[in-house]
Chain A
Amino acid sequence: MQTTIDRAPGDDATAILGLDGELDASNFQGVIDSASGLYAEGARRLVVDLSSLTYMSSSGLVCLHALALLFRGMPPPDPEAGWDAIHSIGLDTDAGERVAEVKLVGPQANVARVLDRTGLGRYFEVHPDRASAIASF
């Protein structure tokens, strides 16, 4: 899998992480490390462009969860700890609240199914393109 890193035009605090290929147990930690580096460099908002991601396993769920916590300034989660950490930051997903610091772009159908069938998808805003994701912050 390839990752690309861009910045929103004129806004160094908003980073765009593009994922191209297949996200699985072999490479999800590398994505977390990339995002961690962006946060350390001062990025405080993250767009994750999934439009070229052709496959995602449950390792991708761990990864997206970790990115959400990282960009809230929290440590990455223990995979066995459940999603309480997202829950505990006060999101009321039933009322339509979503992770404010991390937005997703264009997941392909099979990636969207993994998000939907596990419930993680409801924590994130999903945008059709990078521009609308950036504009939504």
Chain B
Amino acid sequence: MSSTLTIPGEVGRLAEVRAFVREASRGRVAPKLLEDLVCAVDEAVTNVIVHGYDGASGPIEVEVGGDSQNLEIRISDRAPRFDPTKAPEPDLSLPLERRPLGKMGVHLMREFADELRYAPRRGGGNEVTLVKRLPARGGS
């Protein structure tokens, strides 16, 4: 079962993306983990808008899916190829204050998701999937 939202790539639509992820994920993950995931999705979509489309609006599709073990959120776009899994991690040998602020979005995607996947989109563009592991339900 999955839910999908398609928006034009505009920063004014970010609140709609967050509201969609909260609603589509409600009850599947604890509120604290959900807010972390919402932040990771926001950073991924912001990255597409600001760097991918670079001011020229294009479509962004956000799909919330997964199964009983994982919550998966796939973000697809038609922007030039960019693989955030290959983006250099802020150099962990550097003090935090020397890490570029502009790179903190990808850093938060990694911090707040359990897994980050990338695939080129068929026909052009990118598909980034953020995975949050769901705790096993006790009892039955």
Binding site for B on A (CB under 8 A): 22, 24-26, 55, 57-59, 61-62, 65, 77, 79-84, 86-87, 93, 109-110, 113-114, 117-120, 122-123
Contact = CB atoms under 8 A, between A and B. Distances in A.
B88 interface: no
Contacts, number: 87
B108 A58 contact: yes
Main DSSP-derived SS at the B contact region: helix
B14 A24 contact: yes
B138 to A, nearest CB: 25
B90 to A, nearest CB: 9
Interface of B: 11-12, 14-15, 18, 32, 35-36, 38-39, 42-43, 46, 49-50, 95-102, 104-105, 107-108, 111-112
Contacts of B108: 57-58, 114, 117-118
Contacts of A123: 97
Nearest to A119: B96
B43 A58 contact: yes
22 contacts: A22-B18, A24-B14, A26-B12, A26-B14, A55-B18, A55-B39, A57-B46, A58-B104, A65-B101, A79-B101, A82-B100, A83-B97, A83-B98, A83-B101, A84-B98, A87-B95, A113-B36, A114-B39, A117-B111, A117-B112, A118-B96, A118-B107
